[in-house]
């Protein structure tokens, strides 16, 4: 079976759950005490897609502001970017919009953008309405999903969608 390599990077505010999403996807594991990423980390996972195998080469970037300038190294050359916000933090949705703008200005022209509203297990303290995020995603032709790395909701599905798009 042919193996296709797909480079994907994760972007978004610190603490939104980028590493947790990757950890759920790659290892099917969740860690309440996961440490903030320093610089970036790299993981891979291979999944079947039709007659092919898709090998995701995943760059999980650090969301802390001091690492912002490193991000272009990871999104340049990426086939897809997953931009993550935390549904319980309106600020993280504003940060997501800044990432969308930066990708538009400096990212690869044909990059597939997926928006993930993470921590949807915390719906009772939600600050970002689903409709607002969905409408925004539609306006930029991005994939949209609300996920929970903790409860393994829509994480696999998110990467499957990206896989199909690519």
Ligand X SMILES: Nc1nc2c(ncn2[C@@H]2O[C@H](COP(=O)(O)OP(=O)(O)OP(=O)(O)O)[C@@H](O)[C@H]2O)c(=O)[nH]1
* Site residues for ligand X per CB under 6 A: 12, 14-20, 32, 34, 36-37, 62-64, 118-119, 121-122, 148-150
Rounded least distance, CB 23 to ligand X, Å: 7
Task: Kindly tell me which of 36 and 48 has the beta carbon lying closer to ligand X.
Answer: 36
Shortest reach from residue 89's CB to ligand X, in Å: 10
Residue 54 or 89 having the CB closest to ligand X: 89
Task: Measure the CA–CA gap between 99 and 106, rounded to whole angstroms.
Answer: 10
Q: How far apart are CA 102 and CA 140, in angstroms?
A: 13
Complex with ligand X: residue 20 or 78, whichever CB lies closer: 20
- 152 or 166: whose CB is closer to ligand X? 152
Q: How far apart are CA 133 and CA 151, in angstroms?
A: 21
CB of 122 to ligand X, least distance (A): 5
DSSP-assigned letters across all residues of 95-142:
HHHHHHHHHHHHS-TT-EEEEEEE-GGGGGG--S-HHHHHHHHHHTT-
Cβ closest to ligand X, residue 12 vs residue 107: 12
Measured between alpha carbons, how far is residue 127 from residues 30, 52, 53, 60, 155 in Å? 23, 40, 38, 25, 21
- Closest-approach residue to ligand X (CB): 63
Least distance in Å: CB of 138 to ligand X? 23
Instruction: Decide: 85 and 93 in contact? Cβ < 8 Å.
Output: yes
C-alpha–C-alpha distance, residues 51 and 3, integer Å: 10
Least distance (Å) from ligand X to the CB of residue 47? 21
């Amino acid at each position: 079976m042919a193996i296709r390599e797909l480079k994907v990077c994760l972007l978004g505010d610190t603490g939104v759950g980028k590493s947790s999403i990757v950890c759920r996807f790659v290892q099917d594991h969740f860690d309440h005490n996961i440490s903030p990423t320093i610089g970036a980390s790299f993981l891979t996972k291979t999944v079947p897609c039709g007659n092919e195998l898709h090998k995701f080469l995943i760059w999980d970037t650090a969301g802390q502001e001091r690492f912002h300038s490193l991000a272009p190294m990871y999104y340049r050359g990426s086939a897809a970017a997953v931009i993550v916000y935390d549904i319980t933090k309106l600020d993280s949705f504003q940060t997501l919009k800044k990432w969308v703008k930066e990708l538009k200005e400096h990212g690869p022209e044909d990059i597939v953008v997926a928006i993930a509203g993470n921590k949807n297990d915390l719906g009772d303290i939600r600050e970002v309405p689903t409709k607002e995020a969905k409408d925004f995603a539609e306006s930029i032709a991005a994939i949209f999903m609300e996920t929970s790395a903790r409860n393994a909701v829509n994480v696999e599905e998110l990467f499957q969608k990206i896989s199909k798009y690519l």
